[in-house]
Amino acid sequence: MSNKLLLIDGLNLTRRLHAALDNEQDVARRIERTQSLCIDVIAKLVNQFSPTHMAIVFDSPEKTWRHELYPEYKLGRVPMDDSLLESMSGFAKVFRYNGWPCLRLSGWEADDLIATLAVKASANHIRSIIVSTDKGFTQLLKYHYVLQYDYFAKQGYDTEWVEQKYGISCSLLPDYWSMVGDTTNHIPGIKGIGPKSSVEVLAGKSSIEEVFATLDSYPDKYRRLLDGQLDHCLFARSMVTLKTDVEIGIRLSQLALTSR
């Protein structure tokens, strides 16, 4: 049987399931119910995708390199419920008891860890399925063996979906976001440049560097908006681009799925 790696964005899943139980007034009971829902969902995902390996990946509670570079990173995002935050170690314990490997690395977001694992697996011709609603993972779909699945929408994302959704290829998504911004993470774009404009600016180009190298060829409206914005675009792109070379220090064999 071919190896297949299931990568679950742990906080993305637990926070959404916890939020769906907002009518539950008993704090402890809400956590228990969230745990039960998580177990049920993960079991369904394992049954659906039949992975040989998996990891439920969590964010580090410490600040990451993005916070160091840009203190306003994720500013304004609704913080995690205190009771849920305090119980995350219990969630991981329950998941491991069920034979589902969990992963967290100090100073790193789950996104970068997932990206690193998926890309390394792809390099070894191993298919990865990333389970998350976070559209930032769609930049990884340029790798042949990487797919993304939104459990809540029951929808899979691939390169064709990206081109229909954004009008550009997966490889250009970080360049696209560098101009339109990433409101979810409080990363501003270029004033006056929206999704449609960004697609027009990037048409026929391979990168944001090529855009600015040929700025004189653009209509006046784009030249005025983009003039002097290269540094901003390069910085914004670095913030939205997922790291794929994190030294995680684990082997694929350590993520082998075991049954209980």
The arrangement of secondary structure in 167-240, i.e. its CATH architecture, is Orthogonal Bundle (1.10)
| Spatial CB neighbours of 156, under 8 Å, sequence gap ≥ 6 | 147, 148, 149, 150
CA distance 33 to 91: 11
φ, ψ of residue 81 in degrees (nearest 5): -55, 135
Domain ranges of the chain: 4-162+242-255, 167-240
pTM of the model: 0.95
pLDDT 10s digit of each residue in the chain, 260 long? 689 999 999 999 999 999 999 999 999 999 999 999 999 999 999 999 999 999 999 998 888 999 999 999 988 888 888 888 889 889 999 999 999 999 999 999 999 999 999 999 999 999 999 999 999 999 999 999 999 999 999 999 999 999 999 999 999 999 999 999 998 899 999 999 999 999 999 999 999 999 999 999 999 999 999 999 999 999 999 999 999 999 999 999 999 997 65
Are 4-162+242-255 and 167-240 in the same CATH fold? no
CATH of the domain spanning 4-162+242-255? 3.40.50.1010
| Spatial CB neighbours of 110, under 8 Å, sequence gap ≥ 6 | 9, 10, 11, 12, 57, 58, 59, 104
